[in-house]
Structure 1
Amino acid sequence: MTRLFFLFFLCICCCAAAQQSMTLGRQQKDTLTLGDSAPDGYKSLKRIQIGKDGHAGFGGSCRFQYLLLDNENWNPASRDPDGYLLSRWLFHTELQFGNRFRLFAELQSALAGSRIAPVPVEENALEAHQLFMEFQPLESIPLTIRLGRQEVSFGSQRLISLRDAPNSRRSFDGVEGIYAREKFRASMFYLHAVLDKLGIFDDRSSPELKVWGLFLDRTTFGSLPNLNFYYLGFYNRHALFYDGPGMEKRHTLAARVFSKDSRWNYDLEGGYQFGSIGRRGISAWSIAFSTTYSFSDMKYAPELGCKADIISGDGNPYDRNQQTLNTMFGPGAYFGMAAPIAPSNLMDVHPGVKLHLTGKITFSFDYAFLWRYSKKDGLYRPNMVPFFESNNATSSYIGSQISGAITYQATPDVLLLLGGSWFNSGDYLSDMGMGKDILLGFAGAQVRL
């Protein structure tokens, strides 16, 4: 009873802060300035001069998340009475020689203490997370070639993300070409996904799971919107959907317009997917919109916002057309850790508010409502595996989730989190025999080194 009261308290006062994170990839050159709040002696160790125009850089981060979770996946049989502790350590080093050649390496250790039957995205004892070389072939052209194991994320990270929230971050093996000027960035890439495993240095890239494409990012001037355009090719040798398995060859065309750093911000993204799964043709689409308005002249500078998605699902499991959107390498906790489902075959609305209680403390709250887009299709896990063995429910309403967050940015490199959420199951989950409400309590800390 005490534990349930503690969970309920967390749900009311704060939560689902798992997605509040310092997620910038440390392989980016501009992260060398991180750690400015540290003593000068420590900063001198982070960057050591080598010769006239070379240097060695060092750094890392650690994150701890303690979670109390009731009715995980809406299933009362998956109770964990004592909770569990997720920890993640990242350590990196780089060697820079002039402006045209760089080596970067990063180790990752993700552990799940007291977790019953952890999965690899929660526990990956020790792995070579990144190991690549980077060179600029022509001094007069801002083109960089990156070859090796690397983190990759693009745009809003709905389709290719760092997967920061669960615990173990994602990486790829392959090559990326980056052309970057002040207001424009283009990236062309061919990558194999690295498969997470529980052991030590046993992660391997998969020839059966890969992605390639082109991403364009244009920062505009004044009140004009910023623009993203991208093409993604995706191959999965062993895809599985509710209408059956098959070899998946999928192509995505998408565009995004968004604003930032103003009183009124918005983000609109739409995409279309085509290709084949076995003998079935693909025709899927999605539209995502979010907006916030900041009352910066009021007490606590409240920000009101709303998010909404319409994401296609399959209309007939027995025909030769497949309309289920594949999120491919999505964030892993798109709707928070309490409801680990992929943004596929969904309609949702998320109103919310954020308050700046002090210069370092923020409180946020949102209320999400979720429906299935197509009654002929079911829910999918973040790795795009069907959530249930079959789909025999007639209801569309999945449920609602109340979330909030209290974050304390103690220093530029230290972030403290406290949270919880409550997912109120709807008719669809009850029809599937998984109608228990989920309660999640959460506390965490993140430190950049």
Structure 2
Amino acid sequence: MRYRTPEFLTFAVLALCAGTSAIGQQGRHFEDTGTSVPNDALIAGVDGSDEVIHEASIMIEVFDAVDLGDSKPGGKGCNCDSCLGGKGDGKAGCAAIRKAAAASHKGVFYANDFSYLANAGCCETYLGDRFKRLPVGDCWMVDVGGQYRMRYHHEQNINNVGIPNFLGLTGDDDDFLLHRTRLYLNAEYGSHFRFYGEMLDAASELGSGPPRVIEENRTELQNLFVEFKGYDLGRGTIGARVGRQEIMLGAQRMVSPLDWGNTRRTFDGARAMWKGETWDIDGFWLRPMHRDAAHAKKLDPPNLDRQLYGLYGTYKGLCRDNLEAYWLALDYEDILPSGFRYDTLGTRYWGSEGDWLYELEAAVQFGTNADNTGHGAGAVTAGLGRKFPCTIFSPTLWGYYDWASGANAVGNGYHHYEPLAHKYNGFMDIFGRRNLQDMNVQLTANLTDKVQLLIWYHYFRLANGNDVPYNVDMTAFNGQTAGSSGSKDLGHEIDFLITHNITPRTSVVYGYSHFFAGAYYATTAGVPYNGDADFAYVQWHLDF
């Protein structure tokens, strides 16, 4: 539920001021850290109780607690083993530790990697490090940590109101503040067993309307599983994970925890992992959670009418490039009139040759539609990029073509499953990946070692003029019916994103996007709005 309280507005302003203050300090402390985030990390989705951080004084203390430079051990005057050519290999060694610390928190926290602490010596430590790799008894190793994230939204003409299918270009405005807290416990027994638990609390404040489904979920059990791992079978190792778990596959075009959302997707089920000489293969059977908005303080149960299962393989036998192949099945029995069952066979190939980059992902989809007709669909993403390492700011330029099929009947085109849709088809989330052509150009640049710029332009068109545009939840935009579309020209979007990595544990993201409405909105009867739209946001996060 959203609240209009002056305290929260004051909190937001002071927090952003604290972030600005820390940014000012960054220039004095990070000349030689060398921990910039790769360009591809910029386009990832940029956590529970509100009692974790309330007052501005606490926020400033959090920033003060983060080591911003080499004034601590590992800097000038350090004569420990790490700085004198031991484990840390001097200044270069501590820079490597810094880089590893910046990369320690992964897209799913159960994959976090704190192994750098074994070689940190007396290099500087970061917020939360003292609670990682804690020995308990003779056989247990424990990690305790989490994340807090805050994001302010200004949405003009794209905010949704509480009626069905009212997503996309709506003509509605709102301003609101999102909070998310995540807390986790990882306990490993030897090298073959572990327990992992994670709690998430997501809240939305200050908005004039109800929050989206992905914006609020109070005190939720996000992950709770046991894992058996690394059992040697001769030609490879096998492991299994059973319980509630997030899942992230490949480039996240099909399955993702959706980190951009204030809430995150999670599932109940089982997953088996094989790591071989030439193939790594995951097999899984999962049920998504049923979001119980009417009882927001109760734990979400699994949705027994839905299931996701399949195989996902990574081939390791190529000398230079990378190859993935997958079969993914999605069954929704609760979609009227009779539910659907889709199977997707796909592959992804990507790599580089010198400064040239390339990526191709293609999928075919078949099964049964909700109206009991046969389903046949497909999607292709093709990209070509080039790095310019000898140019100022070392930019990287990509050109992409993204196509997902539509159909002559509404709802029967390609289904994007459970993706990180926000990452690929415009940061404004106006369109879902169904009946869509997206011609886009992306430019990334390292303005400094700690500041990255992303500019991403999209031109959207309908793939099938008899079909309609779709929202990110795969519903038809505005409930439009087959044959109602006017022009296939949906419009243009341009996204600007600046990411400032203040320390290996905290960053600030500034984003602005503008959508230029295409002829579709002026030539299609019944659409709610046919003008342009804007989206601006500021996000701060802290890992600990």
- Fold match, TM over 0.5? yes
| Alpha carbons of structure 1 residues 34 and 230: separation in structure 2 relative to 1, 3 Å | farther
Q: What letter matches 2:257 in structure 1?
A: L
| Alpha carbons of structure 1 residues 100 and 305: separation in structure 2 relative to 1, 3 Å | same
Q: What letter matches 1:338 in structure 2?
A: M
Q: Please state how far the C-alpha of 1:23 moved relative to its aligned partner.
A: 5.4
Which entry has the higher C-alpha Rg, 1 or 2?
2
Maintained 8 Å contact 1:122/1:166? yes
Is residue 241 of structure 2 the alignment partner of residue 146 of structure 1?
Answer: yes
Is residue 531 of structure 2 the alignment partner of residue 445 of structure 1?
Answer: no
Residues 49-448 of structure 1 aligned to structure 2 (within 5 Å): 49-72=135-158, 73-76=168-171, 78-80=172-174, 83-115=175-207, 116-136=209-229, 138-140=231-233, 142-181=237-276, 184-198=279-293, 199-223=296-320, 225-239=321-335, 245-259=337-351, 263-277=355-369, 278-316=371-409, 323-333=412-422, 334-391=424-481, 392-430=484-522, 431=524, 432-448=527-543
| Alpha carbons of structure 1 residues 40 and 30: separation in structure 2 relative to 1, 3 Å | closer
Whole-angstrom CA distance in 2 between matches of 1:340 and 1:156? 20
Q: Deviations over 1:100-148 (max 9, x none)?
A: 1110000001111113201221111110000000013845451111000
In terms of fraction of residues, the more strand-rich structure is 1
Maintained 8 Å contact 1:120/1:197? no
Q: Relative contact order, CA 8 A, sep 6+: which one is greater? A: 1
Paired-residue identity, %: 24
Maintained 8 Å contact 2:313/2:326? yes
286-295 or 255-264, which deviates more: 255-264
32-41 or 165-174, which deviates more: 32-41
| Alpha carbons of structure 1 residues 96 and 422: separation in structure 2 relative to 1, 3 Å | same
Q: For 1:142, what is the secondary structure of its paired residue?
A: strand
Q: Deviations over 1:33-84 (max 9, x none)?
A: 59989737942322210222321111111211111111113222x222xx11
Maintained 8 Å contact 1:128/1:201? no
Aligned residues: 421
41-50 or 292-301, which deviates more: 41-50
Q: Please state how far the C-alpha of 1:255 moved relative to its aligned partner.
A: 0.7
Whole-angstrom CA distance in 1 between matches of 2:318 and 2:242? 33
Q: For 1:99, what is the secondary structure of its paired residue?
A: coil
Q: What letter matches 1:63 in structure 2?
A: R
Unaligned 5+ runs, structure 1 = 1-16
| Aligned twin of 2:113 | 30
Q: Deviations over 1:157-184 (max 9, x none)?
A: 1111111112111000000000124764
| Aligned twin of 2:125 | 39
Maintained 8 Å contact 2:461/2:489? yes
In terms of fraction of residues, the more helix-rich structure is 2
| Alpha carbons of structure 1 residues 183 and 295: separation in structure 2 relative to 1, 3 Å | farther
Maintained 8 Å contact 1:18/1:336? no
Q: For 1:297, what is the secondary structure of its paired residue?
A: coil
Maintained 8 Å contact 2:179/2:202? yes
Q: Please state how far the C-alpha of 1:315 moved relative to its aligned partner.
A: 2.8
Unaligned 5+ runs, structure 2 = 1-41, 47-104, 159-167
Q: Please state how far the C-alpha of 1:433 moved relative to its aligned partner.
A: 4.0
Q: What letter matches 1:231 in structure 2?
A: W
TM-score (norm 1): 0.88
Q: Deviations over 1:189-246 (max 9, x none)?
A: 00001123341233111111111000001234543x2000000111001236xxxx43
Q: What letter matches 1:121 in structure 2?
A: I
Maintained 8 Å contact 1:230/1:254? yes
Q: Please state how far the C-alpha of 1:20 moved relative to its aligned partner.
A: 5.0
